[in-house]
Amino acid sequence: MPTAPTIIPLIVAGVVLGSLLVSGKRTVTKKKLLGVSLLSGVLNAASAFVVYTLFPPVTFSRFAGGSFAGATFTGSSTFQFRGAGGATSEPSFILLSFLTGILIVIVVVGAALVYVRYRGGKTEEELEEPKQEEVQEEI
């Protein structure tokens, strides 16, 4: 089974984080985060559908029927290729890709928001300025 594509959710998460850096408030509403993650999931599921359609997984069995009679095999010894079924089915692959698209965006943007909140939303220059002032006061 092909692996779930992850490039689209990472691009969407990058766009969301880029828009956060450009804006001054550095917060995202839950509604916007949910909407963006659902959009990412839908785009990822569409990408998975295209990948599955163009490159379906191939499974095979060793022989295409026949039986063993004594020490000899009666039947064909060629590989029999057939479509994948069970856990490698198309609906489960698309659902997995949809959930992957949603979760990647929520985790990446959520981690970025927690980091910004933990640091208090200060930039690196703002964090370095008090240190320079303390050094000047000591001199």
Residue ranges with strand state E in the chain: 58-61, 67-69, 72-74, 80-83
User: Could you tell me the CA-to-CA distances from 47 to 85, 98, 116, 132 in Å, in that order?
Assistant: 20, 10, 32, 50
Cβ-based neighbours of 73, under 8 Å, separated by 6 or more: 63, 66, 67
Please name the residue that has the structure tokens 């990446």. 108
Considering the entire predicted model, what is its pTM? 0.64
CB of 25 within 8 A of CB of 52?
A: no
Which pLDDT tens digits describe the chain residue by residue (139 residues)?
Answer: 567 788 889 999 999 888 887 887 777 888 988 999 999 999 999 999 998 888 877 665 555 555 555 566 555 555 444 444 444 688 888 999 999 999 999 999 888 888 877 876 566 666 566 555 565 666 6
